[in-house]
């Protein structure tokens, strides 16, 4: 089953309650099926990539990692917008990686680097300035341990941006598997991070920027 992958589907009925160390697992192994959902133009209205990407404050020559990149909804956009930025598009699903590799080649984006990763362990080729986690946090197992380990993957003054579904959102996982903003902040604090920005841009999701604690 999965950990670091995305879900952008309509809200589903509850099945089982997650423990503090258990994420919501769902298969995303058919890229052609999921691209119709993940890259549906209707998603842009609530995901607002044209507003989210500038809010990330990416600079030329930065290195960015998108955890749970899926079909490359954000990673490809970032690579297009910042040719000098290296973008690691990380996902656990081989079919998603293959799809992103084809898109990378088709669009001639040498700075877009699809990266197959393990569900609970990620190593980027080089340290990054920004880690982006969109609609993926609720899938990750043992999140405190996971994000604690990511600290060594960040460059000095590096950031983690997390976007995930609110309880009120018509999109997203079953309600019982959603992580409240308060719980997320508490878990990230335990992992060694503090909120540096709480950005109000999205109708269905919270958007938080974290940096390591002093």
The string of pLDDT tens digits covering residues 39-73 is: 688 899 999 999 999 999 999 999 999 999 999 99
Domains in the chain (CATH in brackets) are 31-212 (3.40.50.150)
Please tell me the predicted confidence (pLDDT) of residue 23. 43
Distance CA 116, CA 96 (A): 9
Model's pTM, two decimal places? Answer: 0.85
Contacts of 158 (CB under 8 A, 6+ apart): 127, 128, 129, 130, 131, 211, 212
Nearest one of 200, 193, 181 to 131, comparing CA atoms:
193
The string of pLDDT tens digits covering residues 122-141 is: 999 999 999 999 999 998 99
Please tell me the predicted confidence (pLDDT) of residue 102. 97
Contact 124, 115 (CB under 8 A): yes
The string of pLDDT tens digits covering residues 72-89 is: 999 999 999 999 999 999
Distance CA 109, CA 117 (A): 21
């Amino acid at each position: 089953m999965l950990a670091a992958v995305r879900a952008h589907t309509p809200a589903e009925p509850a099945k089982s309650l997650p423990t503090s160390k258990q994420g919501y697992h769902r298969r995303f192994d058919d890229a052609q099926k999921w691209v119709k959902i993940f890259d549906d133009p209707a998603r842009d209205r609530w995901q607002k990539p044209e507003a989210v990407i500038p809010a990330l404050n990416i600079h030329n020559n930065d290195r960015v990692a998108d955890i749970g990149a899926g079909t490359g909804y954000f990673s490809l956009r970032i690579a297009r917008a910042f040719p000098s930025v290296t973008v690691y598009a990380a996902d656990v699903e081989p079919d998603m990686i293959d799809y992103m590799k084809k898109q990378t080649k088709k669009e001639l984006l040498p700075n877009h680097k699809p990266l197959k990763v393990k569900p609970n362990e990620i190593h980027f080729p080089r340290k990054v300035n920004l880690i982006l986690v969109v609609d993926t946090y609720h899938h990750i197992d043992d999140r405190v341990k996971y994000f604690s380990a990511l600290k060594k993957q960040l460059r000095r003054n590096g950031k983690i941006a997390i976007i995930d579904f609110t309880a009120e959102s018509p999109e997203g996982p079953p309600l019982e598997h959603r992580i409240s903003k308060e719980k997320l902040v508490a878990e990230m604090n335990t992992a060694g991070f503090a909120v540096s920005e709480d950005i109000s841009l999205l109708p269905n999701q919270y958007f938080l920027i974290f940096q390591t604690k002093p």
